[in-house]
Structure 1
Amino acid sequence: MRTVNEEARRAKEIEIMEACFDCYAENGFTSVGVKTIAKTCDCSVATLYQYFDNLDDLIVKSTEYCMSKVEDDFMAKAPTDVDDLWRFIDEIPYWTAKKHGKKYRLMYQIYTHPKYREYGQKFFKGVDERYTEYAKSLEPKLGIPHEKLTPLIFILIRACVHYALFEDEFYLKSQIAVLKEALELFIMKYNLKARSGTFT
């Protein structure tokens, strides 16, 4: 069981990580130093190092934490049934680009940097696992096996992130069109079975 001090320390860590990530997202990864981060977090550099081993540790942990929160936001908007799918697919790319676009751009700057690439590999392995679990949670709602839903989720996420990075409507719309067609085929194949009780 966590003590009050542990909870307070964790709350402060989260506060620092969110402020750090937002600062980098707003100002650029290469143009912000540790003194600016400390000022943004309303603390001293020495205080930062009471919570994180060094600046690299802060960057890695803040990226992982904040991008996990982006995932939570994304998943909270999940469709509740088959009829809600189309609303979700049409709205989510524009919503997440507006709300999280700067964070996506920062994430790729960090995770493609040679110094942090191994952390990116670890993070995206976790993404694979989390989105598989997400697909499993959608399976009973949509009547489509999670093994079929998982790659479709990856297509949607990739389309959303690409749009957030580059505002490329052609790429987005072509990906979404294929995604919708695949979903329609899967709904025809699996959802009717689910409703009749023969889904396996």
Structure 2
Amino acid sequence: MRNSDYKEEKKKEIMERCFECYCDNGLRDTGIKELGKYCNMTSANLYAYFDNVDDLILQSTAYCMAKVEDDFMALSPENPSDILRFIEEIPYWTAKKHGKKYRLMYQVYTHPKYVEQGKLFFDGVSKRYTEYAKVLSPKLGIPSNILSGFIFIFVRAAVHYALFEDEYYLKMQMEALKLSVFSIIKNFKEEGIEKK
């Protein structure tokens, strides 16, 4: 492994450990020394990878939340008959597996120092979900422009549940989503039949 590859892999490991440390202890109660301990290195060594603590917080949040996003999307439905499973299971799965990460992400991106970086991060999320809808569209039989909206509704409800475990809100959102998704699929199937 080349030195630059090693440094990049080490940086990813540091970002994951620091993000975990912040998740466990909060932003306010976690200093650079505590982060160094979590990473099994001196706090001075952390500065070989990041300009300052703000840079570390922002880079580790963006990196780790992109990994959460990948986890989330790796479980997406492969066909229309798998949609119900996805809608009913994934919010609970993501709350259990990633709840503390979502809470930290919102702490970071709503902090006055980091709001602008938060806007950039969520702009990237919007673009990635829109592209993802284009990939899923042929599998699910839903046009990507409509599917994008469904993805945003689903993710918002799932994240809200991960943050607050608000069962009522989640169920209302998921019931509305199921009704909408299956109505759209039915309409497009009927239109397809009529055109043949």
TM-score by length of 2: 0.96
Is 1:119 aligned with 2:148?
Answer: no
Is 1:98 aligned with 2:96?
Answer: yes
Structure 1: runs of 5+ lacking an equivalent:
none
- C-alpha root-mean-square deviation of aligned residues, in Å? 1.5
* CA deviation profile, 1:5-63 (whole Å, cap 9, x unmatched): 11100001001000000010011121111110011011111110001000000000000
Residue 84 of structure 1: aligned partner: 82
Is 1:166 aligned with 2:152?
Answer: no
| C-alpha distance in structure 1 between counterparts of 2:89 and 2:27, whole Å | 29
Residue 10 of structure 1: aligned partner: 8
Structure 1 residue aligned with 2:146, among 144, 148, 151? Answer: 148
In the TM superposition, what is the alpha-carbon distance from 1:191 to its structure 2 partner? 3.8
**Are the equivalent residues in 2 in contact too, given 1:142–1:191 (CA < 8 A)?**
no
One-letter code aligned to 2:112:
P
Structure 2: runs of 5+ lacking an equivalent:
none
Give the fraction of aligned pairs with identical amino acids, expressed as a percent: 57
TM-score by length of 1: 0.94
In the TM superposition, what is the alpha-carbon distance from 1:184 to its structure 2 partner? 1.2
In the TM superposition, what is the alpha-carbon distance from 1:140 to its structure 2 partner? 0.5
Residue 183 of structure 1: aligned partner: 181
Residue 56 of structure 1: aligned partner: 54
In the TM superposition, what is the alpha-carbon distance from 1:192 to its structure 2 partner? 4.7
Is 1:34 aligned with 2:32?
Answer: yes
In the TM superposition, what is the alpha-carbon distance from 1:67 to its structure 2 partner? 0.1
- Shift in alpha-carbon separation, 1:197–1:42, aligned structure 2, 3 A: farther
* CA deviation profile, 1:86-128 (whole Å, cap 9, x unmatched): 0010000000000000000000000000001111000000000
One-letter code aligned to 1:73:
D
One-letter code aligned to 2:75:
K
Structure 2 residue aligned with 1:46, among 44, 47, 54? Answer: 44
In the TM superposition, what is the alpha-carbon distance from 1:71 to its structure 2 partner? 0.3
| C-alpha distance in structure 2 between counterparts of 1:156 and 1:166, whole Å | 15
Residue 25 of structure 1: aligned partner: 23
